[in-house]
Amino acid sequence: MNARNDPVFQWKNICLVPILHNRVEFAMEVRRRFERFRPDAVAVEFPDTLKTGILRAVDRLPLLSVVFYEEADGAFVYLPVEPTDGQVEALRLARSAGIPVHFIDRDTEGYLPDPAPMPDPYAVRRIGHHAYCRAYLRFGGRGGPRPQDTLREKTMAHRLQRLSRSSERVLFVGGLAHLPGLLAHLDRPQTEVIGRRRREGVGLAHLHRESSREIMTEMPFLAAAYERARSDDGPVDVDRLKVNR
């Protein structure tokens, strides 16, 4: 798996696939890694408290869904489940293959997304996934970790360490921004981080097609092209520049 012509991020028996969330180039990379690595377990950067709702949404695809819940301060969180997301693709592949899935992130309230800009995802087609991620780690990585991110990364590292002992080949899919911290924590023994274990009131709503153009990360036309491609036999290769011509 670590051949020079096909480098990967790997820790022991875990293949890590860093992604930009909801970007089609990374969903295709997840498919490629899944086919080559042939895991017997899949782990994703979602909290276990949302597992039931997210899996229901995944099973509804290609119909679009939004998982939602209310936080302690009364704010609602909405999570669109998009077919072009690498984590969603990993879950679909695992469900189809009949292998277990593990939601290993920490349920963190009041979490603010990292505003740091990310490189153009289309560059993955030109330089390859591994080179893209290495370039980000070298030149574009965020500064010091935020406290919430440290707790999340320690949680994921601890749960991956446990999975490493109970499974033979684990495929992990998670955000590229967490890769540096995750790799650092994996190399040291971790303990379980205190956090929420259950969440009540998690709902699932259908996303109306008139709303999809407003809230989806990728253009609905591109997401539809990807969904059609993955439904056909053979390799999935969707080029966003050619699709949009």
Q: What is the pLDDT of residues 26-76, one digit of tens each?
A: 999 999 999 999 999 999 999 999 999 999 999 999 999 999 999 999 999
**Whole-number pLDDT of residue 136:** 87
- Which strand ranges, in their side-by-side order, compose the sheet holding 76-81? 76-81, 65-70, 203-206
How is residue 115 written in tokens?
């505003």
**How far, in Å, CA of 7 to CA of 137, rounded?**
15
Q: What is the DSSP letter of 83?
A: T
Q: Is the peptide bond before 121 cis (omega within 30 degrees of 0)?
A: no
**pTM, to two decimals:** 0.93
The residue among 119 and 156 whose pLDDT is bigger is 156
CA distance linking residue 121 with residue 23, whole number of Å? 7
Q: State pLDDT tens for residues 155-200.
A: 999 999 999 999 999 999 999 999 999 999 999 999 999 989 999 9
What is the enclosing helix (H) or strand (E) of 67? strand 65-70
Provide the pLDDT for residue 138.
85
Measured from the Cβ of residue 237, the count of other Cβ atoms closer than 10 Å reads 9
- Cα 221 from Cα 150, distance rounded (Å): 36
The predicted structure's pLDDT at residue 3: 42
> What distance in Å separates the CA atoms of residue 23 and residue 129, rounded to the nearest whole number?
12
Percent pLDDT > 90 in the chain is 81
pLDDT band at 213 (very low <50, low <70, confident <90, very high): confident
Q: CA–CA distance from 7 to each of 43, 118, 181, 192, 230 (Å)?
A: 20, 22, 20, 31, 24
| Euclidean distance between CA atoms 21 and 24, whole angstroms | 9
Residue 141 has pLDDT above 70, yes or no: no
Average pLDDT along the chain? 92
Look up residue 42 and give its two tokens: 């899949």
147-166 and 179-186 are packed helices; what angle lies between their axes, rounded to 10 degrees? 50
Beta carbons of 204 and 67 less than 8 angstroms apart: yes
Give pLDDT, residue 209. Answer: 83
pLDDT at 113: 79
Positive or negative CA dihedral for 240, 129, 119, 144?
A: positive
Backbone angles phi, psi at 119, to 5 degrees: -60, 155
Say if residue 4's pLDDT is above 60.
no
Tens digits of per-residue pLDDT, 151-163?
999 999 999 999 9
Res 1 pLDDT > 70:
no
